[in-house]
Amino acid sequence: MVPSTKTRVAALALAALLSCAGAGQARAEQPGDRTVALLKKLISFDTSNGPGDTRALAEYLKSQFAPLGAEVDVFVAPNGKAAHFIARLRGDGSRKPVLLAAHADVVPVERDKWTVEPFAGVEKDGFVYGRGAMDFKGGLAVFASAVMRLAEEKTPLSRDVIFLAEADEEQGQYSTVWLAKNHWDKIDAEFALNEGGYVLQERDGTVRQINVTTAEKLSATFALKATGPSGHSSRPFPAGAMANDRLIAALAKLAAHDPAVKLVPATEAYFKALLPISSEQTAADIKQLLAAKDQSDLDAAGKKLVADNPKDSLLLHALLRDTMVITMIDAGIKPNVIPGDAKAVVNTRLLPGTTTDQMIEEIKRVIGDPGIEVSIVTLLSQQDARDAYLMRSKIPASPINTELYAALDRNAKRVWKDAVLVPTMFEAGTDAIAWRERNVPVYGIYPYPLDDDILSRMHGNDERIGVEAIKQGAEWVYNTLREVAKK
């Protein structure tokens, strides 16, 4: 019987539908697509810190890694919320492990300022939106998928491969410092990847510079407290005598103060590496900076370099000096009461080598009011905090003459042919300190191309990352990991 026209059309439509479904399934099998899907799933876990509850996400990762034959552990901190997930692929033990660490907690959101649900992993217009898409669940997905891919392919390994999903990186006392203190044997390695440097995407979409952080600034927070007479607001005391007056005067001086320019080994290496890929003007500024003979020369050269590079001025300013920012102010209990004390919090980011004692001395010198108390914000005693910061200020930059750094360099060029790796210092802080203070080299990367728009949304509203950027980063990290871990 000859099929009718309607029957033939229906059959063709069904065949086309099945063909499209098959193609879609094939596309879904691609490693990059799977990394994007994993990112969406990870975003769906609200791990905002506080409270920093990463238990559900850790259990999900456990359900994904365990069937692949990985050894899995979940360590929950005493607060019952901060959960660290660890997966280990066993090698033959001929070389020490390689570690990939990424934090699972994220900063909170202002939901009313988002145009999409921040914990849904919405894909729109070539981007994945959600809190943590860039910082750092994107990295978590890239690192996790690289390790899972090795496990699925049953790649013979010469060393153990460790994947760590960290808790309490954004804030809290149960970060990797706590994990290392209690379970160091689970995360000890020859070298490690963590968050840090940026894969810089230019306006034309090309990537020519990849910053890899080998050191980072130290975050130290200080409390300022001014005191004065209290009383009824209808009978004010002389100007300058009241706590608020004294604190305001002190903060005005701090706000206007710019600490001196300093070059440390990590930033000196960074600027030297920038020379061959910089514009003629920027290269001249860098040479002037590197040739500075005294503090006056350094300050002038640093100021010129920042001024000549307005697009990168905030980053350059932060790399060149210790920074201080007034972040919190607290005074008064009622509109008609003159408060007897006024407080402020100043967050500083200290270059390697700068101690908290030196910063306290600088703050006191700048404000010029010996009656204002300056102390470290800490759960420890002041002396114990000073000792801890002193130890961390001496941590050297991670060396770049390692197999992992070389593999990052080689494999970056496979994805972005014009890319140049530039070792640098991270202007913020990460959990890498747990390894660096134990002399384990750590290389920090945000493993996907980032432009100014993506960076501006970090910790902000409508945070997002490009779908293609995630796929490129997944390929870079997988190839790097495979090279350093396979037999």
pLDDT at 59 over 80: yes
Check: pTM over 0.85? Answer yes or no: yes
pLDDT in tens, 176-206: 999 999 999 999 999 999 999 999 999 899 9
Report, as an integer, the average pLDDT of 60-80.
98
DSSP of 45-59:
S--BTTTT--HHHHH
Distance separating the N- and C-terminal Cα atoms of the chain: 62
How many CB atoms are closer than 10 A to CB 484? 22
pLDDT at 2 over 50: no
In percent, the amount of the chain with pLDDT more than 90 equals: 92
pLDDT in tens, 433-479: 999 999 999 999 999 999 999 999 999 999 999 999 999 999 999 99
The residue among 192, 178, 133, 164 whose CA lies nearest residue 61 is: 164
CATH among 3.40.630.10, 3.30.70.2190, 3.40.640.10, 3.40.190.10 for 30-214+401-485: 3.40.630.10
Please give the helix or strand (H or E) that residue 219 lies within, else none: strand 218-227
Angle at 61 between CA 60 and CA 65, to 5 degrees: 125
pLDDT in tens, 235-271: 999 999 999 999 999 999 999 999 999 999 999 999 9
Tally the residues of the chain.
487
Q: How far is CA 414 from CA 164, 196, 210, 443, 480, in A?
A: 26, 21, 13, 19, 10
For the chain, the domains span: 30-214+401-485, 218-393
- What pLDDT score does 28 carry? 46
CATH among 3.40.50.970, 3.40.50.12280, 3.30.70.360, 1.10.287.3510 for 218-393: 3.30.70.360
How many CB atoms are closer than 10 A to CB 55? 18
